[in-house]
Structure 1
Amino acid sequence: MTHSVTDCSCVEQLTTTVKEMQKERPESVIYQTSLMSALLSGVYDGTTTVADLLKKGDFGLGTFNQLDGELIAFNREVYQLRSDGSARAARPDQQTPFAVMTFFRPQYQHRFTGPVTRAEVHQTIDQQVSSDNQFCALRIDGLFSHAQTRTVPCQHRPYKSMPEVLGKQPTFEFAQRNGVLIGFRTPQYMQGINVAGYHEHFITDDRQGGGHLLDYQLDHGTLAFGEISKLVIDLPGDSDFLQANLSPENLDSAIRAVES
């Protein structure tokens, strides 16, 4: 069968249109470097830089090499939440042993006009995204009545396991502070690969404080969230990762202990 010039032009035009649509609405993907079970086992050094992360997403969380504080990213800005409760902009060359990133494209929005607990926020999401088998990215901008956080202090070799390290973690309380919460809801079958359930980080509106959230109450604010159904993982190839025990017997309970 032969095609006329007109037919070819139509095909080319359709291909161009599809490509343009894909640019406007690209597929939502979670990019992850390393595994949560590796971090749990003391694999605290990676080669992925902050600049590398921003090629994979504009929104996410994680930690820094030597477990030096918490990482929070949104609006293509990355911050280091430090063990004294402070925050600072991360350098492009800083490296991470574990991070989760995506290009944030929420499908749902909910405005809270009165106080809600962390559990009530999660219930709002769970009612909309009813399947626990899908990932979900979420963001809250608002006034927090209180936000309880923790940040991990910088570690030095020989590294201890994460449960040992977090026995001495400092915690902080932020009261009546405007800020940004970003997080992910991860399916239960991903425990060990990621953190099953909700994993959230917080930073104040002046970008001077924050940390990994242990609990919070929102006074009022806006929740935006969306489903994600694709995951890409980069696995390290260094000796620390290759020799780590990534499936200990107490994996589930250990992760729940360090993340809650």
Structure 2
Amino acid sequence: MCEIYNSLCTCSFDVAKEFAEYHKLTGRGEIYQTSLMSALIAGVYDGSTTVEELLEHGDFGLGTFDHLDGELIAFDNKVFQLKQDGSAHKAQMTQKTPFAVMTHFKPNIELPITESLTREQLHKLIDQMVPSDNLFCAVRVDGTFDYVRTRTVPRQEAPYRPMLEVVKEQPTFNFRKHKGVIAGFRSPQYTTGINVPGYHEHFITNDRKGGGHIQDYRITSGFLQIGVVSKLNIDIPTTEQFLDADLSYHDIRQAIEKTEK
């Protein structure tokens, strides 16, 4: 690859760019989402959708679990729970989630990663290939990582505290020289409060023993896949907790930014 910030002269990038130009207004597939990010910010942690139900709507995605019990990552039609000790476990079909985003992953842009890139550089590369922020991108990265820094929210018990208080206690982990998978989404800025605007990514190691919500990483080599999506289907909970929640947080963007760090 050549200059990340200006132009990349590899044939693979040229092909990917052509695909992006063709698909940028014709994104395929659909994103299914259960609940709202603003509900998590407000402390709505009781799950209303099972893992089995999530898989009816997609084979790829992320989210959290009932009681905010760790992070959820899904790919290849498998769902894993990334717990507060940094470990990873296969999720049970009966487990529930208060917030998750799923899609049937259909990549229309693929690109090998042949040199070391920071998270910021990789995001800039994706932004070059899909320049419109008005569409969703499902992003999968399989690779070898110099390091991945993650965090995982600890399980909560009622009465629930707001998420801004919970994340102050979240443990962080550093995975060094690991191979693994990143599953994530780039969501439009206009989805603030509905979803997480910008990039939201989770990581799991290839041995499926560890992972979490990504804070930062550097990839040394790998393979990038992007699926451009133009449809969003939101399943609004009808639980008492959700219906009673105040979802009009006065500065929802700032609150989401703090919880996603």
Contact 2:107 2:226 (C-alpha < 8 Å) held by counterparts: yes
Give the distance between the partners of 1:196 and 1:176, measured in 2 at CA. 29
Give the distance between the partners of 2:77 and 2:64, measured in 1 at CA. 16
Give the distance between the partners of 2:239 and 2:59, measured in 1 at CA. 27
Residue type of the alignment partner of 1:196: P
Aligned twin of 1:93: 94
Aligned twin of 1:146: 147
Contact 1:139 1:225 (C-alpha < 8 Å) held by counterparts: yes
Calculate percent identity across the aligned residue pairs.
57
Aligned twin of 1:111: 112
1:77 Cα offset (Å): 0.4
Where has structure 1 moved over 6 Å in runs of 4 or more?
A: none
Aligned twin of 1:241: 242
Q: How does 1:1-260 map to 2 (within 5 A)?
A: 27-260=28-261
1:229 Cα offset (Å): 0.3
Give the distance between the partners of 2:249 and 2:106, measured in 1 at CA. 35
Give the distance between the partners of 2:249 and 2:205, measured in 1 at CA. 36
Residue type of the alignment partner of 1:162: M
1:121 Cα offset (Å): 0.7
Question: Which shifted more, 242-251 or 35-44?
Answer: 242-251
1:27 Cα offset (Å): 4.8
TM-score, normalised to structure 2, is 0.89
Bigger Rg, structure 1 or 2: 1
The alignment partner of 1:104 has SS state of: coil
Question: Which shifted more, 241-250 or 58-67?
Answer: 241-250
Per-residue deviation, residues 185-228 of structure 1 (Å, max 9, x unmatched) = 00000010000000000000000000000000001100000210
Contact 2:28 2:228 (C-alpha < 8 Å) held by counterparts: no
Give the distance between the partners of 1:205 and 1:144, measured in 2 at CA. 11
Contact 1:46 1:236 (C-alpha < 8 Å) held by counterparts: no
Question: Which shifted more, 29-38 or 241-250?
Answer: 241-250
1:46 Cα offset (Å): 2.0
The alignment partner of 1:127 has SS state of: helix
Give the distance between the partners of 1:44 and 1:226, measured in 2 at CA. 29
Alignment RMSD (CA, Å)? 1.0
Question: Which shifted more, 242-251 or 205-214?
Answer: 242-251
Give the distance between the partners of 1:120 and 1:106, measured in 2 at CA. 20
1:110 Cα offset (Å): 1.2
Give the distance between the partners of 1:111 and 1:124, measured in 2 at CA. 12
Contact 2:48 2:239 (C-alpha < 8 Å) held by counterparts: no
Give the distance between the partners of 2:37 and 2:240, measured in 1 at CA. 17
TM-score, normalised to structure 1, is 0.89
Contact 1:42 1:159 (C-alpha < 8 Å) held by counterparts: yes
Give the distance between the partners of 1:193 and 1:247, measured in 2 at CA. 11
The alignment partner of 2:85 has SS state of: coil
Residue type of the alignment partner of 2:52: A
Give the distance between the partners of 1:208 and 1:31, measured in 2 at CA. 27
Give the distance between the partners of 2:239 and 2:112, measured in 1 at CA. 45
Residue type of the alignment partner of 1:198: Y
1:47 Cα offset (Å): 1.9
Give the distance between the partners of 2:134 and 2:247, measured in 1 at CA. 22
Contact 1:146 1:216 (C-alpha < 8 Å) held by counterparts: yes
The alignment partner of 1:45 has SS state of: coil
Q: Which runs of 5+ in 1 are unaligned?
A: 1-25
Per-residue deviation, residues 164-193 of structure 1 (Å, max 9, x unmatched) = 000000000000000000100000000100
